[in-house]
Amino acid sequence: KIYPIILSGGSGTRLWPLSRAVLPKQLLPLVTEHTMLQETALRLAGRPQLMQPLVVCGNEHRFLVAEQMREIGVAPLGILLEPVGRNTAPAVAAAAHYLQAIDPEAVMLVLPADHVIADVDAFHAAIEQACVPVAEGALATFGIVPTAPETGYGYIQSGAGTGAPHCYKVDRFVEKPDRETAQGFVAAGNYYWNSGMFLFRAAAYLDELRQFAPAIAEASAAAVAQGYRDLDFCRLDEAAFTACPSDSIDYAVMEHTRHAVVVPASIGWSDVGSWSALWEVQQSDENGNVARGDVYLDDVSGSLVRAESRIVAVVGVKDLVVVETADAVLVAHKDQVQRVKQIVDHLKAEG
Ligand code: GDD
Ligand code: MG
């Protein structure tokens, strides 16, 4: 049985001012009328091989997450609550321990809550392909053909076939390389971007974690064992989880494991990591604009304009991102939106 694990932490700072710590990217209706979290859950519906999803999120988001699941008629297997964020390796570890108590043979499908997947059938086909090596203990990744030397992604060097259709051994996994290294990978041709989704047996992940990050394996086990259960919620033990080292699954496990496989996946994937990425995944009008809310455009092209609380009028410009919210406004060139992260850092420093 496959148990989807939806990771709904993270704060999506590159989508400021819409995405905030109190209401991060995955809990917002960014692309459709559903939130990113809801889209992630809806994408899994009606697939008999998949169990109900287990959502892992920060304690402060518990009611929003529960309410958003209720709205779409999804009854989660559970909602694991983190008292503090410790990045993805501990979040996935806690889910693995939680599942093993229910089903020692559990296979986990780890899914970020904030990605767009345009081709849902191809996504499920890739999961099915990955099941073959995963049954034998592999940790499966889903590879995206890279289009640019992005430094915010993991890179997967694919090697020999595993014997199973469309599954290849991972020769090397490099998380967030520098620009020059990334350029080399893209030029080499046999590298994929890591999509950030994984399929593995809970037991296989925990075995690797015990080997490469034993402190995370132990602390997360204690956090689940001493956790407090209430209805759908399981509150991870605060002292145990706070003591857990912070690291991502990519650095803690995927860069080290020798059991990784990659399934190339042409699924219309985007992690919507910036305003320009959001512009790209949305249907634009005949002038290449994406407008949301109460917006007036005159002689505007290639722009993303969002009005949340007031009328926004834009005249005679191209390739801009304009995002209005009740307490902050962003105006940036579409090619410069990576710098939005610095705004958030600056505002944090100012207090
Ligand atoms: N529950 C929980 N707790 N979720 C978390 C936490 C946490 O502490 N930290 C992050 N997440 C969630 C995020 O919301 C996101 O959905 C997902 O886990 C991945 O975390 P990111 O912080 O967005 O990772 P990244 O974008 O830097 O890198 C990962 O994704 C890339 C593709 O988008 C890596 O897996 C890369 O290798 C990959 O290329
Ligand atoms: Mg991300």
Q: How does strand 290-292 pair with strand 295-298?
A: unpaired
Question: First CA to last CA across the chain, in angstroms?
Answer: 47
d(CA 109, CA 252): 18
Let me know: does 206 contact 213? Beta carbons within 8 Å: no
Banded pLDDT at 10 (limits 50, 70, 90): confident
Average pLDDT over residues 291-297: 97
pLDDT in the model for residue 350: 86
d(CA 191, CA 204): 24
Atom of ligand 1 nearest to the CA of 24: 14
Q: Please spell the DSSP secondary structure of 190-255, one letter per residue.
A: SEEEEEEEEEEEHHHHHHHHHHH-HHHHHHHHHHHHT-EEETTEEE--HHHHHTSPP--HIIIIIT
Examine the pLDDT at 97 and tell me if it is beyond 80: yes
pLDDT in the model for residue 82: 98
56 lines ligand 1 (CB under 6 A): yes
Which residues of 222-294 form beta strands (DSSP E)? 228-230, 233-235, 260-264, 269-270, 290-292
Examine the pLDDT at 22 and tell me if it is beyond 90: no
C-alpha 173 chain-centroid distance:
18
Q: Model confidence over 106-152: pLDDT tens digits?
A: 999 999 999 999 999 999 999 999 999 999 999 999 999 999 999 99
250 lines ligand 1 (CB under 6 A): yes
pLDDT in the model for residue 305: 98
d(CA 67, CA 8): 14
247 lines ligand 1 (CB under 6 A): no
Q: What is the 300 CA–ligand 2 centroid distance (Å)?
A: 30
* 5, 7, 141: residue to mutate for ligand 1 pocket, most atoms within 8 A of CB: 7
Beta bridge partners of 228: 235
Specify burial of residue 130 (Cβ count, 10 A radius: 0-12, 13-18, 19+).
Answer: buried
196 lines ligand 1 (CB under 6 A): yes
**What is the residue whose two structure tokens read 């043979």?**
105
Q: Note residues around ion ligand 2 (Cβ under 5 angstroms).
A: 271
112 lines ligand 1 (CB under 6 A): yes
Omega cis (within 30) before 146: no
ipTM: 0.99
Residue nearest to atom 2 of ligand 1 (CA): 9
Let me know: does 278 contact 323? Beta carbons within 8 Å: no
Q: Comparing C-alpha atoms, which of 233, 316, 222, 321 is closest to residue 277?
A: 321
Structure token digits, residue 192:
């994929």
Q: What is the 227 CA–ligand 2 centroid distance (Å)?
A: 27
H helices, E strands: number in the chain: 11, 19
Banded pLDDT at 13 (limits 50, 70, 90): confident
Banded pLDDT at 177 (limits 50, 70, 90): very high
**Per-chain mean pLDDT for the chain:** 96
Average pLDDT over residues 26-52: 96
Residue nearest to atom 4 of ligand 1 (CA): 9
**What is the residue whose two structure tokens read 């819409």?**
18
pLDDT in the model for residue 312: 98
- The identity of residue 75, as a single letter, is A
Residue nearest to atom 8 of ligand 1 (CA): 87
19 lines ligand 1 (CB under 6 A): no
Atom of ligand 1 nearest to the CA of 246: 8
Banded pLDDT at 254 (limits 50, 70, 90): very high
pLDDT in the model for residue 214: 98
- The identity of residue 309, as a single letter, is S
